[in-house]
Amino acid sequence: MGFFGREPVALVLLASMALPGCAPAQPSIVGQASVVDGDSLEIRGERIRLFGIDSPEARQTCTRDGRPWRCGQTAGQRLEALIGGRNLRCEPEDVDRYGRVVAVCYEGEIDLNGALVAEGLALAYRDFSRRYVPDEDAARSAGRGVWAPGVQFEPPW
């Protein structure tokens, strides 16, 4: 074949797949979720870590008005309430060192990752993304969750 034969086209297609952002995206993960903790859930046996956020660990305690407050348990309970038994759609961003899918998860149009940060029950995980920093700033300004007056916590948990 000549210059415009199939070989050059195939080579260009193969080369473009090696470029960042050109690899096929992972498919959405959809289904009913069970909450593991404030920043992790499971859908159909797939463990998912919520992208760009870090919430207190499930057994983590903070201090509110001088008394222990189970801020980790509160974060998990709030995630459970936001899900409300409905199907979620999680859009994978990465896979972490533990083999978990790292994703942005939605209940309808609600970005659950952002909702937890906006309510002050998770922090923007700046080491991996700055996407939720404005939500954290808003929670801090409004005194919500771990940013409420009288609450003491030690990031990164």
59 C-beta neighbours (distance < 10 Å), count: 9
Encode the chain (157 residues) as per-residue pLDDT tens digits. Answer: 443 444 544 444 444 444 444 445 789 999 999 999 999 999 999 999 999 999 999 999 999 999 999 999 999 999 999 999 999 999 999 999 999 999 999 999 999 999 999 999 999 999 999 999 999 999 999 999 999 999 999 776 5
CA distances from 142 to 3, 23, 136 (A): 64, 41, 10
CA–CA gap between residue 27 and residue 104 (Å, rounded): 12
CATH label, 29-147, candidates 3.90.79.10, 3.30.1360.120, 2.40.50.90, 3.40.50.300? 2.40.50.90
DSSP, res 151: E
Q: pTM score, two decimals?
A: 0.83
> Going by C-beta distance under 8 Å and a sequence separation of 6 or more, which residues neighbour residue 93?
51, 52, 102, 103, 104
Q: Choose among 36, 54, 23, 18: nearest CA to 128.
A: 54
